Amino acid sequence: MPRKVGQHQSRTRRAKYLSELPELILKEVVYAKIAKKYNITEQQVKLDAMKLKKEWTKQAEKNSEEARQMQIEKLQLVQAEAWKAYEKSLKSQTKHITGWQDTQFGRNEKDIKQTINSSGDPRYLAIINDCIEKTAKLKGLNAPEKQEITADINNTQTVQRVILEIPDNARTSESK
C-alpha cells in the first residue's frame, strides 16, 4: 500500500526528533521549548524523555555489571597465578656452590650441594587473601560496614550518625 506524503514527512520528522532528543535532554532544554520546536505536545516530550532516561539507566547498570564481572575475572586470574607461585615456593631447592678448597696438595675445585627446605613464601598468601577479599566485596558478600560520624556542636552536645553501606547488588528488588 503506498504511503501518503504526510505520513512519510511525519515519520521523518519524528525520527529526527528522536535522534536529537538525547542531546536536548543533556543540555537541559525545557520540555515546552522542545515540544514547540517539533510541533508535539509537552506530554509526549516528557514520555519520550522518561523512556530514554530509563534506557540509559538500564545500559549503565549493564555496563556496571559487565565491568564488575571483568574485575572479578581478573582477580581470579591473579589468584590462580599466586597459588601456582605459592605451590612452587613450597618445594625444596637445591643450590650448587662451586668453590676452591685448599688442601695439602694445593687448591682443588669443590662442588657443594645445599638443599633448602621451604615452608612457602607468605607474600603469595597475602596476594591470595587480597584477591578473596576484593572478589567478595565486588560480589556484595561482605556484611554492611558500619561507620560512625561524630561532631561537637557549640561544645554542648555531640551528634552521632550511623551509616550502613549496602552494596547495590545486595539490595532486594523491592528496595530499588
State how many domains the chain has: 1
Sequence-distant (6+) residues with CB within 8 A of 164 are 144, 145, 146
Going residue by residue through the chain (176 aa), what tens digit of pLDDT does each one get? 444 444 555 888 889 999 999 999 999 999 999 999 999 999 999 999 999 999 999 999 999 999 999 999 999 999 999 999 999 988 877 777 777 677 777 677 777 777 777 788 899 999 999 999 999 999 988 877 777 776 656 555 444 444 455 555 554 444 44
Q: At what angle do helices 31-38 and 5-26 cross, to 10 degrees?
A: 160
Query: Is 79 a domain residue?
Result: yes
Residue 22 lies in a domain: no
Q: Does 125 reside within a domain?
A: yes
Whether residue 93 is contained in a domain is answered as yes
Give the residue numbers spanning the domain of 97: 41-170
Count of beta carbons in the 10 Å neighbourhood of residue 16: 11
d(CA 96, CA 109): 13
Residue 135 lies inside a defined structural domain of this protein: yes
Task: Evaluate whether residue 48 is within a structural domain.
Answer: yes
Instruction: Look at residue 35 and tell me if it is in a domain.
Output: no
Dist CA 173 CA 175 (whole Å): 6
At residue 115, the 3 state secondary structure works out as strand
Asked whether residue 70 is domain-assigned, the answer is yes
